[in-house]
Amino acid sequence: MTRSNKIFLGIFGLCAIGLVVVYLIGVLEKVHSKHYAESHAIARTRADIHNISLTIRIYVNDFGYLPEPLKPGQTKIDPKYLAEQLYLFLKNSSAMHIIQEPLPKHWEESKMIVDHFGNPLNFCIAPALEPRKYIVKIWSNGLNGKNEEGQGDDICNIFEVELSNVNYEKTTNINKLLK
């Protein structure tokens, strides 16, 4: 083998190794960026649910009843319809604008309350054990997009409110809500 062939093979070998390294870096970057995007979407959805929870608590504290779109016992409401109605409520709520201004862009674009995966959030209201107290459950279907009723990879927040102006019928079993 001549000296020029050895140099050529050496340079060719280095180029091949370089291409493999560049390819591996690209694959790792793609994996890392996908993981980062998913983590970011989960964190932002968690923050949105927290802000909605705070807004509902402030509203109940100020007025003594739940916002119009939310009524105890409404467990079979179409999530898309409720997400649209809650968007309209939150858009006009002074409490929401205190907590977060402006409303999240993905809500404005879809004109409904959606998670960062594009799915409507789920809501359920059930009576607590004490009179006038209700459990509010808000959850996202999570990364897999399947409604697992707040379980699995769903992103969920459950809190209690006490109503002072309205006495709703107790129509929902609390154990079903908290399963």
As a whole number, mean pLDDT of residues 24-39 equals 64
Confidence (pLDDT) at 30: 62
Q: Which amino acid is at 83?
A: A
List, for residues 77-87, the tens digit of each pLDDT value: 677 888 888 88
Q: Is the dihedral of CA 110, 111, 115, 121 positive or negative?
A: negative
pLDDT value at 152 more than 80: yes
Q: Where are the domains of the chain?
A: 48-177
As a whole number, mean pLDDT of residues 147-152 equals 84
The DSSP letter of residue 129 is S
pLDDT value at 6 more than 60: no
With 0.85 as the threshold, say if the pTM is over it: no
In this structure, the number of other CB atoms found within 10 A of the CB of residue 6 comes to: 10
